[in-house]
Structures are given as structure tokens and as C-alpha cells.
Amino acid sequence: MGANDEVRIGVFICHCGINIGGIVNVPKVVEYAKKLPDVVYAEDNLYTCSSVGISKIKEGIKEHNLNRVIVASCTPRTHEPLFRSACEEAGVNKYLFEMANIRDQCSWAHMHEPEKATEKAKDLVRMAVAKARKLKPQEEPEIDVTPSALVIGGGISGMTAALCLANQGFEVHIVEKEPELGGMLRHLHKLYPTMQDASERLNQVVNAVKSNKRIKVLTSTVVKQVKGFIGNFRVTVEKGKSKTLNLEIGTIVVATGAANFEPIGMYGYKQFDNVITQFQLEQLLKARQLERPERVVMIQCVGAREEKGRTYCSRICCMTAIKNATLIKELFPEAEIYILFRDLQTYGKEYETCYLDARSKFIQFIKYVQERPPEVTSGPSGKLVVKIYDALLNSEIEIPSDLVVLSTPLIPHEDTKELSQILKVSLGPHGFFFEAHVKLRPIDFATDGIYVCGTAHSPKDTAESVSQAFGVASRAAIPMAVKRLRTEAITAVVDENLCSGCGTCVKLCPYGAIEKDEKGVARITQVVCKGCGVCAASCPENAIEMCHFTKEQVTAQALAALGRPFA
């Protein structure tokens, strides 16, 4: 069924249970749709996305010889792929499908005005019909995929992802900037909640990586340049300061980890020798160098959950404090340990058990409020004094202490921004790598073929980092397993005759899809283009057209919104 045949549009209008049907008069919208130009069939469904609803679309295409399909329902963001595949399976090019969002943008937005919502739903359906009449079938370009992955970062997340990919039969390159593998785990003592030795766990993974013939480890190496696109990345890495290597890569995993925040100027850190961070305490415990303390005070949320700046919870600090307090108590049962917290975030059943266990060992938990944080001053005979307003007792107390331990958050590494620019991927508001969508694509970047796991993405503990690494390995394996990929068909196209070569689009394209060719005019690499439309909207010469959102299509839709007759 081609686009040049007589246009025959089918409209399927969804009740979405009562989400739409409880507000919009759906049968009225169906009757309205039936009268629109080129609409040969319209019906309503309780749930168009159900298996019954999908069958109805396919049957409708066959019975009424449809060559354009419109679903008026929820959001294309979640449901368009499903409806498109139904069209494809029934023999209609999936780009001859159009969606009208009459739920999020209509029934939900106007739930107290059912009549007006019904009129708006008619408008949205009319606009979709106006566009659908002008739609053209599109072909998705196919590309080969190099069956080789690059993992940036050789910590627990990177090594886990690498092993998982290698065990599926793919070649993997691990690039680690430090001289040895291991990342943050090299400096940790025990892992909660199992209390396994971090070094024992680490050695198992490092040995597995080193003995895997499909994994090539490049230590003291950094990524200098990444060109190309999913399946065909050309990566330049630099080993030491002199040796450069070029790698042909299919997919890339970012697992660069995170750094510890140094609380300079806070609570006497760097002013008193016996004010240290949890990270330093881990190393003292690991080296068995902690001297017997009479009293230890741990302060939570140091530099985290602030009103401005680092507003986030670092997830690991409460459990780290409980773990280290418990370990000190086991080493020195007579020691008094106080944990000063704002809110204790020991989510999950095993972690809550650790908290209860710590309380049963008489580790003291004292709640402070952000407006009255603890104060650390020097006391007699080299001791410290911690003044704290106990929010539950409503009184100020003083705790003389041998050691003050500050629980600080994980923060992005200094070179995160540089790497994000090399990879052309985004960073979130706190400087960590930013996923494409928090729920729908939580370990993908918006750029195809590049994925993120571990603390490079956000603070998390070892168990969560490992889970995410498994997930990322599965995502990164898919393009390599299928060997050939279909890429986006909705891309931008330059009219060379109109392009003045000003370079505006080259600078603005967020995916680096545009460069100037030998004639000095813009050239778009179709497989890199994500169809965002930034270039088309910015070109001063109007030289760029978006496939599937052509000027003709968008104008028809806009005129329909204004109630003008269809051209």
C-alpha cells in the first residue's frame, strides 16, 4: 500500500478506560472524525493499546484498505512504537501513522470542562487528519554494527559490564585512566550489607577480567576523541602521554565512577587532625590503623542535601556510617559511637536490618536540624567537642570526642565534563552523566549506542552499581547481537541550493550530525541525526526540511487548528 494511492484514513479513538472516556464524549468525536476529508473509517476502543485494540487496527487496515492510520489516545512518547508496529504488521509503512494526544493534552488538562474537552478532542483529531493526508512513507537506513564494545572506566561497574559483554562473545576494550583496575573499591574496607572484604570481591572480578581473552585492558589510558555513530564509532585513546591507539567500536559503556567530596572548611576538617571523612576512616579500618577511641561522633549529610548546589542525597552515606560504626564497635566494644543525622535513609529491608542491628549494639542516633547544624571545636587534651541541638529532646548537648567522622557525598569526577563533550552526551544538574529518560531509558544516553552505569550516573552502592552494569551490558549487546541496525528515518535534509554555508546548524546540532562538505554547504549524516529539528528551526535560509514534519505537513496541521478548510 503506497502513499500515492488514494488517501484512505482510519481513525481509532481510545477511551483509555475513564481517563479519556470519563471526560471526552468519545462517540461524538468518532462521528465527527467520520465526516473529515479522506477518513473512510472511524471507531472507538476501550483500550486501543490492548491486544484487542491492536487487532482492531490491523483488521481495520485490511477491511477498509486503509493507507493512513490515526490513533487518538495518550502520548506518542510511550505508545507510538506499539501502534506503528501494528501498522507495519498489517502492511502500512509505519510513518503513515499519526497520533493525537487527547488524554494528557486534553481530558487530563480539562477534566472539569467535559464539553470543551470534547471540542478540543475534535480539533486535535482534525489536525491529525490534516497532517496524515500529507504523510509520506519513510525508509529507515540500515547500518552494520562492529561487534566490539568500549567500556570507559575499570571500576566494579565497568569490569562487571565488560565481563558480561565478553561472556556473550563480544570483544571488549576497558579504558582506565588509573594505572590499575578497581576504582573506588580499591580503597574500601568492607561491603554492606554482607560485610564481605571489598578487596576479596575486587580480586575475584579483576582476575576474571584479566583472564578473559575477549577483554583487552588499557590502563593509564584516556579517551581523546570519539567520531562516528552507533555500530561504527571510531575512538582514539591515549596511553600515557605518547602512545595513541585507534579503536573501531560498536557500542560504548560509560562507567567512570565518582569522586568523594572533600569538606574543606566544614566541621573542622583539615583544621583538626582527628576530623576525617568516612572515606578516610575506611582506609584506617582497612589498614588496621584505627587507634582505640573512647568516643566517636559521625556527622551525616556533610555537603549533601543542601539548599543550593549539592541538593541531592548521596544514598550511600547513611549505610556507610552504620557499617563503619558497627565495625568500630566490634573492634572496640567499649567505644561510644554517636551518629548525628538529619534523616536516616536506610531504604530496603536488609539495610533497615543493619540499622536495627546498630541500635541493638548501643550505637546512638541523634537527630539534628539543618537550621542548627552541629559545631566542632577543640577540647581539652587534644579531644574535640561536638555541640549538637538534639531536635527530639529539644535541648543542646555537648559530646567530647576523640574522632569526628564526616559523611560526605559522592560527586562527579573533575574530567566528567570533558568526557561528556567528547562523547556528545549530557550531564545532569549536579554534573553526573544524564540518562535519556529516568523511567523509560534509565541507562541509555539520548545518543544511540552509548550507555551509562554505576556512580558515573549518580551516587549508588556496589550492589546497585553491579545491577546497573548487568543492565547496561544487555543494552549494549543488543545492537552488536543483531549485527545490522535500522536507524531513525525522521531526519533533517539540507537543500544545497538554499544553504549559504553560514554554519549555524553545525554549531547548534546537539548530536554533532552536521558538518560542512567540500563545497562549503551543510551535510547531515543521516544515521547520526535524531530528528530533533533544532537545525531546521534555526537555519536563516530556510534550507533545512524535516522528514515527517515538512513545512507542508506542519502548515496543514496549523491551518486545521485554526479551522481553515483542508487544502
Q: How many CB atoms lie within 10 A of CB 367?
A: 17
Applying CB under 6 A, among 152, 237, 318, 494 the residue interacting with ligand SF4 is 494
Nearer to ligand SF4, 38 or 488 (CB): 488
Q: Is 547 in the site for ligand SF4 (CB under 6 A)?
A: no
Residue 491: CB minimum distance to ligand SF4, A: 6
Q: Is 225 helix (H, G, I), strand (E, B) or coil?
A: strand
Nearer to ligand SF4, 54 or 539 (CB): 539
Q: What share of the chain is helix, strand, coil (3-state, %, to 5)?
A: 35, 25, 40
Query: From CA 437, how far away is CA 446, in angstroms rounded?
Result: 8
Total residues in contact with ligand SF4, by rule CB under 6 A: 28
Applying CB under 6 A, among 38, 415, 541, 545 the residue interacting with ligand SF4 is 541
Query: From CA 5, how far away is CA 284, in angstroms rounded?
Result: 77
Residue 480: CB minimum distance to ligand SF4, A: 24
Q: Is 544 in the site for ligand SF4 (CB under 6 A)?
A: yes
- Piece of 140-148, 252-260, 353-361, 526-534 that binds ligand SF4 (CB under 6 A): 526-534
**One-character DSSP codes across 101-131:** E-IIIIITTTTT-HHHHHHHHHHHHHHHHHH
Which stretches within 3-155 are classed as H helix?
26-34, 51-63, 76-89, 114-132
Hey, which residues between 463 and 492 contact ligand SF4 (CB under 6 A)?
491-492
Asked if residue 231 lies in contact with residue 479, where contact means CB atoms within 8 angstroms, the answer is yes
Element (H, E) at 288: none
Applying CB under 6 A, among 257, 511, 547, 560 the residue interacting with ligand SF4 is 511
Q: Is 522 in the site for ligand SF4 (CB under 6 A)?
A: yes
Q: Is 524 in the site for ligand SF4 (CB under 6 A)?
A: yes
- Piece of 16-24, 115-123, 473-481, 533-541 that binds ligand SF4 (CB under 6 A): 533-541
Asked if residue 327 lies in contact with residue 429, where contact means CB atoms within 8 angstroms, the answer is no
- Piece of 23-31, 178-186, 275-283, 541-549 that binds ligand SF4 (CB under 6 A): 541-549
Q: Is 556 in the site for ligand SF4 (CB under 6 A)?
A: no
Query: From CA 35, how far away is CA 39, in angstroms rounded?
Result: 7
In 3D space, the residue among 8, 14, 29 whose CA is nearest the CA of residue 123 turns out to be 29
Nearer to ligand SF4, 237 or 524 (CB): 524
Nearer to ligand SF4, 2 or 533 (CB): 533
Query: From CA 299, how far away is CA 328, in angstroms rounded?
Result: 16
Residue 130's φ and ψ, nearest 5 degrees, are -60, -40
Nearer to ligand SF4, 2 or 520 (CB): 520
Applying CB under 6 A, among 529, 547, 556, 560 the residue interacting with ligand SF4 is 529
- Piece of 30-38, 287-295, 322-330, 516-524 that binds ligand SF4 (CB under 6 A): 516-524
In 3D space, the residue among 257, 258, 269, 279 whose CA is nearest the CA of residue 407 turns out to be 279
Applying CB under 6 A, among 509, 527, 547, 556 the residue interacting with ligand SF4 is 509
Asked if residue 275 lies in contact with residue 421, where contact means CB atoms within 8 angstroms, the answer is no
Q: Is 284 in the site for ligand SF4 (CB under 6 A)?
A: no
Query: From CA 470, how far away is CA 451, in angstroms rounded?
Result: 12
- Piece of 250-258, 324-332, 377-385, 501-509 that binds ligand SF4 (CB under 6 A): 501-509
Asked if residue 10 lies in contact with residue 69, where contact means CB atoms within 8 angstroms, the answer is yes
- Piece of 175-183, 396-404, 417-425, 535-543 that binds ligand SF4 (CB under 6 A): 535-543
Binding residues for ligand SF4, per CB under 6 A? 491-492, 494, 499-505, 509, 511, 513-514, 521-522, 524, 529-535, 539, 541, 543-544
